[in-house]
Structure 1
Amino acid sequence: MDALACQSLAIGGDHAGFLMKSELAEYLSKLSVQFVDCGTHDEAPADFPVFAEKVSELILTGKAERGILVCGSGVGVSVAANKIPGIRASLCHDTYSAHQGVEHDDMNVLCLGARVIGPALAFEVVKAFLHAQYTPQPRHQKRVDLINAIEQKALDGGYSAT
């Protein structure tokens, strides 16, 4: 496989994702990937939105290229991270989605469910995510531009909850 396209990460997760996050941290160290562990640092109850925000902030400030978030299902961290403008997070439990999400959709946060997949598969999914690189072909860039336009419309107050 090619060299890693991503060299710096922020990683975080709640109490349900703590063990998998710890295993992923060891795996990332073996790959010589620089990462910041945004917590949680034990299995005491912790709220996943806090860690989604911490990881996202490091990406948006340029202190990390991408992020990995882990909770029980992966759904909560995905929902929370996607509320932050500039973050494109996706729940991936297979290698195809993990690399295509980056290559076609410029995904910058990988979300995993610790109660859904085991460490061996998680390592493969992370490896696919880290090796992938956004390829701004016209059809991909058009779609990313449309996503960005939706985001901007929301920021400008173009949607209202009823």
Structure 2
Amino acid sequence: MKIVVGGDSAGKPLADILVKHLAAQGHEVIDLGAQTGELYANLADRGAKEVLEGRAERGILCCGTGIGVAISANKVPGIRAAQTHDTYSAERAAKSNNAHFITMGARVIGSELAKAIADKFLESDFDPKGASVANVDGISSLDAKYTRCS
């Protein structure tokens, strides 16, 4: 799978670990790196562009808590990002919410848990005929409604 991974100054050490882990598993990884002093909004924007333009299928973003990059990524029309700090949430982000991104906090979880979360997210797929389709369609409709208002 093609994955985009990035972290701001607080999240970069965890993102670097995930880049190596995912590449070793055979994933094609786009490493966003971190530009000195880059705002997590800009990082999320760069990551979202990779997904929206088809260069990556999914992504993982890291900051200190995972909150800032999640909020930022969700501001990009067409993107769904879920903050995850456990494997169940990562699985549900994919299966129930068809999330493009998961986010994690480098100051919240350790690297081994982060690897397990990433693995669970990437091995889980959305069921286009499942019970969550109406909810995901609703999210997309809400996104479109407010995108038109901008």
TM over 0.5: yes
Instruction: In structure 1, give the amino acid aligned to 2:16.
Output: S
Separation (CA, whole Å) in 1 of partners of 2:20 and 2:148: 42
Runs of 4 or more, structure 1, over 3 Å off, are none
Partner of residue 78, structure 2: 86
Instruction: In structure 2, give the amino acid aligned to 1:24.
Output: L
How far apart are 1:34 and its partner, in Å? 0.3
How far apart are 1:138 and its partner, in Å? 4.7
- Identical-residue share of aligned pairs (%): 35
With structure 2 as the length reference, what TM-score do the two structures score? 0.96
Does residue 24 of structure 1 match 2:18?
yes
Partner SS for 2:38? coil
Separation (CA, whole Å) in 2 of partners of 1:67 and 1:138: 23
Instruction: In structure 1, give the amino acid aligned to 2:32.
Output: C
How far apart are 1:118 and its partner, in Å? 0.3
- Alignment RMSD: 1.3
Instruction: In structure 1, give the amino acid aligned to 2:47.
Output: V
Does residue 66 of structure 1 match 2:58?
yes
Does residue 38 of structure 1 match 2:32?
yes
The unaligned stretches of length 5 or more in structure 2 are none
Computing the radius of gyration over CA atoms, which structure comes out larger, 1 or 2?
1
